[in-house]
Structure 1
Amino acid sequence: MVACTLAAGVMVVLAGVTGCSALADAPGCSDRDERLASRLNDVPELQLHPPGTTLHDHYSGCDQNDGFAHAGRTYRPVDDIDTVTAHYRDAATTAGWKLPRVDDTPVPQDGLATSGARLCFTRTIEGTTAYLAVWFPSDFGDKRSDVSVELTASHDGEAGC
């Protein structure tokens, strides 16, 4: 990783060469999105886990590269992906989330996946579109039997599933 340096009052900017930038429109999280990240972490739908699974991991923050707030949970073990998918479809829609698309397309083994979400719900939170993604690490060849649920949203950047 290359770092931009501020030494003795002289800033070295090699934006075109190193990827560093001093431009105001450079990616990053706004103060609003930093605050939104902590509120996303408290959204009750992150606790909607399938029966028989337990919390394995949790996180929240703001993606400085793309400028969006996020919060997520990982639950395990998952015995049957179809049962888990049906659980989230029912629980999230009951909680007011919209399901504009279902992606049953297998993740390409040797290609670039643009989204790993099996389900991508949307809803307005604090005046902006929030996305609730349900995905399985096993779709990417991971041997774990987990389900991951992640919320993303942004007032000033771009978020999605």
Structure 2
Amino acid sequence: MAGRDHRRAVACTLAAGVLVGFAGVTGCSVHPDAPGCSDQDKRLAPRLNDVPELQLHPHGTTLHDQYAGCDQDDGFAHAGRTYRRIEDIDAATAYYRAAATTAGWKLERADDAPVPPEGLVISGARLCFTRTHEGTTSYLAVWFPSDFGDKSADVGVELTASHDGEAGC
């Protein structure tokens, strides 16, 4: 399962358990009033896929998955990668913190603890960076599937941005 889809599936499952009967859980299913993607954001997605920071990965890891597109539910462009076989989450987090700041990204938020096993997950990103890209704020998120109970030793790096909707980590 692609990284973005895996994070969304886990978050939606958690949200469904907490908010049974609440029909407005954004991003878990197609909502009739969902903003969709503008043509401008649809064109932005492939360019996000070429941002060099998505190619950054800790020594010894290999590319496992890559994706790019436009989130029709929330109306933002996204691109990401997952890299396989990280040895140490703390070392990988330190690697991305140093690499992203060196590349000009501003650290917006750092969550050093894994996602809690109960409750609503708003963001599973351990690190969230921002930078202006093509006239809009871009968000670079670093996350770990193992934080969601996945048994893989992967790290995910995802970039989101929108000219016409809302993006974030």
Please tell me the residue identity of whatever aligns with 1:147: V
- For structure 1, the residue ranges without an aligned partner over 5 or more in a row are 1-17
SS in structure 2 of the partner of residue 142 of structure 1: coil
Larger relative CO (CA 8 A, sep 6+): 1 or 2? 2
CA–CA separation in structure 1 for the residues paired with 2:102 and 2:55: 14
Partner residue in 1 for 2:159: 151
Structure 1's consecutive aligned runs of 4 or more residues displaced over 3 angstroms after TM superposition are 18-21
Rg (Cα) greater in structure = 1
SS in structure 1 of the partner of residue 127 of structure 2: strand
- TM norm structure 2: 0.80
Change (3 A) 1:19 1:141: closer
Please tell me the residue identity of whatever aligns with 2:127: L
Identity %: 79
Larger strand percent:
1
- For structure 2, the residue ranges without an aligned partner over 5 or more in a row are 1-29
* Mapping 1:3-152, distance limit 5 Å: 19-20=31-32, 26-152=34-160
CA–CA separation in structure 1 for the residues paired with 2:41 and 2:156: 22
How many residues of Structure 1 are paired with residues of Structure 2 in the alignment?
140
- TM norm structure 1: 0.84
Larger helix percent:
2
Q: CA deviation at 1:106?
A: 3.2
CA–CA separation in structure 2 for the residues paired with 1:104 and 1:72: 21
SS in structure 2 of the partner of residue 37 of structure 1: helix
